[in-house]
């Protein structure tokens, strides 16, 4: 199959790139290893509500994603922050905090972040999206780039955009080979949140709010290191979501049942007996996702890395190949905004090369940076070892 641009990876950056290229009238195909689009964005459905198992929040000033929301008529709502935050010490003691509001500026998207992916996909021709296509090799020729997949399908194009995590990109066979320093840079770039896990607990009522608690928790005891109210704008079901503070190796040494039991025990310690009987619980461990995480991602970074990673390309690759995953964004690397920004900017650059003009859109403007912290190394899994 021949087209002008092949985009590898149908996460947010790949979808945004393909969407903008299509609007520019550029022939594009989108290859995805999974059986779904979205990459690190996926929603867990409970009734009509969808809960973000990947990124959950955006922030004011993130103009690229705001432009997409405006484009598709998607709306946001404030993350719940009314009430006190809880600090749980390593010895299990709990302190209320009525001052700290870590999520006061955080916004959530109605329908979840996956609603953005759904909207982008809905405007792409069905024939340009190819799921279950694992890219194995790329070959540069005098006429362009050949992309070869494990299922035997091949695609030829003038330009290729790599919108998958850089550590996964390093596993692709390039002919001729990339320079060693470029490959090493790919391998050394962590994929944001690839080593993390989320646990959701669903309830019929928000009993924590009746205790004047926001649902926000910072814990040195664990197994959840950080907890937030995950209830959607639809309200029921009500939910608490927590990031597991144990690294992937420690998580995998526990059974799922043991981890869930430890989480329930912690929620009871924090919120009382009402937390003991969730209607449902859901665990999403990104370190077990082969199209997100590699062995090197099993130990997650404890702070937001300085992304903006640039991978040098030398002839014959030159202008024919680009890396557009979120971690390559100079601002908001690893975040939703960084992904959308990289996809849109890439498509606009290719469109400019081809003298194409897209309809006016807000999804192409300046952005404000946001950084996160995931410093949870101090949690002792033995605190919950017999749970």
Do 257 and 315 have their domain in common?
A: no
The pLDDT of 180-190, averaged and rounded, is 95
Residue 69 placed within a domain: no
Do 201 and 278 have their domain in common?
A: yes
Do 351 and 373 have their domain in common?
A: yes
Do 314 and 375 have their domain in common?
A: yes
What local confidence, expressed as pLDDT, does residue 364 receive?
54
The pLDDT of 272-282, averaged and rounded, is 98
Do 114 and 103 have their domain in common?
A: no
Residue 342 placed within a domain: yes
163: pLDDT strictly greater than 60: yes
What local confidence, expressed as pLDDT, does residue 354 receive?
93
204: pLDDT strictly greater than 90: yes
Number of domains in the chain: 2
The residue behind tokens 């949870």 is 376
180: exposed, middle or buried (Cβ count in 10 Å: 0-12, 13-18, 19+): exposed
Euclidean distance between CA atoms 314 and 174, whole angstroms: 12
Do 272 and 202 have their domain in common?
A: yes
Residue 276 placed within a domain: yes
370: left (phi over 0), alpha (psi -120 to 50) or beta: beta
Residue 62 placed within a domain: no
Say which CATH number the domain at 208 has. Answer: 3.90.660.10
Residue 275 is part of which domain span?
76-109+195-288
Residue 68 placed within a domain: no
Say which CATH number the domain at 173 has. Answer: 3.50.50.60
Label residue 386 by pLDDT band (50, 70, 90). very low
Residue 25 placed within a domain: yes
What local confidence, expressed as pLDDT, does residue 121 receive?
98
Do 82 and 199 have their domain in common?
A: yes
Do 204 and 268 have their domain in common?
A: yes
- Answer with the one of 242, 263, 288 that is the final residue of a domain: 288
- Answer with the one of 255, 288, 321 that is the final residue of a domain: 288
- What distances in angstroms separate CA 326 from CA 43, 166, 183, 299, one per listed residue? 19, 10, 18, 20
Q: Nearest to residue 56, comparing CAs of 12, 106, 9, 120?
A: 106
Do 227 and 374 have their domain in common?
A: no
Q: Give pLDDT tens digits for 105-137.
A: 999 999 999 999 999 999 999 999 999 999 999
Label residue 385 by pLDDT band (50, 70, 90). very low
Q: Choose between 298 and 263: higher pLDDT.
A: 263
109: exposed, middle or buried (Cβ count in 10 Å: 0-12, 13-18, 19+): buried
Residue 56 placed within a domain: no
Q: Give pLDDT tens digits for 315-360.
A: 899 889 999 999 999 989 999 999 999 999 999 999 999 998 766 6
Rounded (5°) CA angle 291-109-88: 80
Do 216 and 92 have their domain in common?
A: yes
Model's pTM, two decimal places? 0.93
Do 37 and 133 have their domain in common?
A: yes
The pLDDT of 154-181, averaged and rounded, is 97
277: pLDDT strictly greater than 50: yes
Q: Choose between 385 and 72: higher pLDDT.
A: 72
What local confidence, expressed as pLDDT, does residue 384 receive?
46
Q: Give pLDDT tens digits for 227-253.
A: 999 999 988 899 999 999 999 999 999
Residue 199 near residue 283, CB atoms below 8 Å: yes
Do 377 and 355 have their domain in common?
A: yes
**C-alpha dihedral sign at 154, 156, 162, 166:** positive
Q: Give pLDDT tens digits for 278-327.
A: 999 999 999 999 999 999 998 777 677 778 999 988 889 988 999 999 99
What local confidence, expressed as pLDDT, does residue 78 receive?
97
Residue 183 placed within a domain: yes
- Answer with the one of 245, 260, 288 that is the final residue of a domain: 288
């Amino acid at each position: 199959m021949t087209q002008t641009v092949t985009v590898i990876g149908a996460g947010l950056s790949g979808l945004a790139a393909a969407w903008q290229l299509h609007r520019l009238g550029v022939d594009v195909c989108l290859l995805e290893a999974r059986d779904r689009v979205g990459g690190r964005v996926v929603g867990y459905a409970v009734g009509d509500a969808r809960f973000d198992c990947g990124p959950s929040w955006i922030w004011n000033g993130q103009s690229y994603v705001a432009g997409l929301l405006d484009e598709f008529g998607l709306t946001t709502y404030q993350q719940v922050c009314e009430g006190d935050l809880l600090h749980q010490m390593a010895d299990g003691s709990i302190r209320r905090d009525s001052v700290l509001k870590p999520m006061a500026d955080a916004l959530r998207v109605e329908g979840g972040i996956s609603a953005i992916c759904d909207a982008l996909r809905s405007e792409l021709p069905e024939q340009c999206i190819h799921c279950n296509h694992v890219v194995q090799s790329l070959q540069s020729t005098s006429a362009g780039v050949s992309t070869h997949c494990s299922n035997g399908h091949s695609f030829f194009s003038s330009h290729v955009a790599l919108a998958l995590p850089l550590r996964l990109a390093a596993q692709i066979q390039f002919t001729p080979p990339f320079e060693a320093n470029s490959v090493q840079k790919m391998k050394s770039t962590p994929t944001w949140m690839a080593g993390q896990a989320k646990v959701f607990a669903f309830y019929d009522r928000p009993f924590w709010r009746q205790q004047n608690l926001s649902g926000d928790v910072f814990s040195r005891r664990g197994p959840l290191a950080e907890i937030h109210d995950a209830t959607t704008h639809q309200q029921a079901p009500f939910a608490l979501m927590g990031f597991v503070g144990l690294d992937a190796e420690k998580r995998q040494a526990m059974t799922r049942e043991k981890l869930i039991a430890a989480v329930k025990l912690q929620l009871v310690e924090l919120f009382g007996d009402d937390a003991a009987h969730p209607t449902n619980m859901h665990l999403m461990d990104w370190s077990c996702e082969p199209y997100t995480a590699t062995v090197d991602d099993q130990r997650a970074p404890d702070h937001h890395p300085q992304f903006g990673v640039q991978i040098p390309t030398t002839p014959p690759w030159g202008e024919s190949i680009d890396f557009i995953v979120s971690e390559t964004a100079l601002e908001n690397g690893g975040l939703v905004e960084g992904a959308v920004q990289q996809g849109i900017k890439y498509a606009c650059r290719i469109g400019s090369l081809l003298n194409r003009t897209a309809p006016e859109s807000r999804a192409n403007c300046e952005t404000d940076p946001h950084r996160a912290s995931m410093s949870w190394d101090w949690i002792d899994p033995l605190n919950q070892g017999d749970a």
